[in-house]
Structure 1
């Protein structure tokens, strides 16, 4: 649970930084490429299960090392942090009234992605796939969504983002 909160915080920080540094005309493409890299990392991460003993601490050590290494490019950048002084806290109800579709989409996407990551491996193992094959199954599904990230981002730069969503 602590790891999940840390990753959510790190993701929020990175996406806030990208939003702040990109213009309205390029934001979709920038976030599309960010998601492309994220999907590649997630797909590659699924195959790392083959590098250690299942149930051992090897995987935790590998994941921790990779997350630590991912901070190096951010630490080496010359850009400062986003200016968050102008931002104000926004409760879910206010956000819902401002953009109902965004809140509904976020909830549905969270349920779909969360259930897939939680149960995809269970399904793969129950149909008889080995640990290595289950990792490949998970990677393949993630890579299936990869191809749409940049084109959808480019469409979001050209058309109303709410329509593209």
Structure 2
């Protein structure tokens, strides 16, 4: 398994619209998901060891960012024919098991992942209130390792700055993760 890094933030890039089914049985649009101060869209999947390593901290940060007016959504775009553990029913179980307080959406035709230029899981896109990209970094610096008590909450800190100022930090470190599993 080769780890990939997405490109760094293209400040001001506008979030592409979408309307996707969620594991909660509802459809979710970009407009409905955004909070009054911004939105985080993260591409994840169930089987990725990078996602599995950070999922509890991701849930914590989504909860804490909601209190600051930042919406949050996770999207799975992997090819489920090749990776059945990432299927829609399995996504629902993954979300329940980890206590997702945010929608977990299914991008079956991979059009949303392509529109966003998603590269890996996890791949974070942090937008301001105008849905302009302000953060394309990582959750924190622990990757697949056991988190340290003093690990900086990079996504949380960046999106708190976005909530307060509308702008993300100039210095960002790209996320790292498994490649998205594209259909043939």
Q: Which has more radius of gyration? A: 1
Alignment TM-score, normalising by the size of structure 1? 0.26
Q: Hey, which of these two has a bigger chunk of helix by percent? A: 1
Greater relative contact order structure (CA < 8 Å, 6+ sep): 1
Q: Hey, which of these two has a bigger chunk of strand by percent? A: 2
